[in-house]
Amino acid sequence: MKKRSYRSSSFKKKVALEAIREEKTINEIAKKYDIHPMQVSQWKSELLNNAELVFEKKKSYKDDYEKKEASLHEQIGKLTVEIDWLKKKLGV
């Protein structure tokens, strides 16, 4: 029985992209990397099914940044008003 081995995400990506290109058959790719053909098919499917997440993350980071920026601008405005009020009160 063959021992399980850990495969890095970069290795899985490389194999899956090669399978997507369809320049070689799944069996040829599996033989080249010494893995089971079903594993190649699974990684290919995972990549295709989750590809949209790559672009969603960029959007959500931008949205989070814009929300944080708006919140900070609001806070700056409030603090500026408070400082002006205190200066007026103290006669500075």
Whether the predicted pLDDT of 1 surpasses 60 = no
Output the pTM of the full model.
Answer: 0.58
* 86 assigned to some structural domain: yes
**Predicted confidence (pLDDT) per residue in 66-92, tens digit:** 889 999 999 999 999 999 999 999 887
* 29 assigned to some structural domain: yes
One DSSP character per residue, 30-69 reads: HHHHTS-HHHHHHHHHHHHHHTHHHHHHHHHHHHHHHHHH
What percent of the chain clears pLDDT 90, i.e. is strictly above it?
68
Question: H/E element holding 18?
Answer: helix 9-21
Our count of domains for the chain comes to: 2
**Host domain of residue 66:** 52-92
* 92 assigned to some structural domain: yes
* 43 assigned to some structural domain: yes
Does residue 71 sit in the same domain as residue 84? yes
**Predicted confidence (pLDDT) per residue in 21-51, tens digit:** 999 999 999 999 999 999 999 999 999 999 8
* 2 assigned to some structural domain: no
* 65 assigned to some structural domain: yes
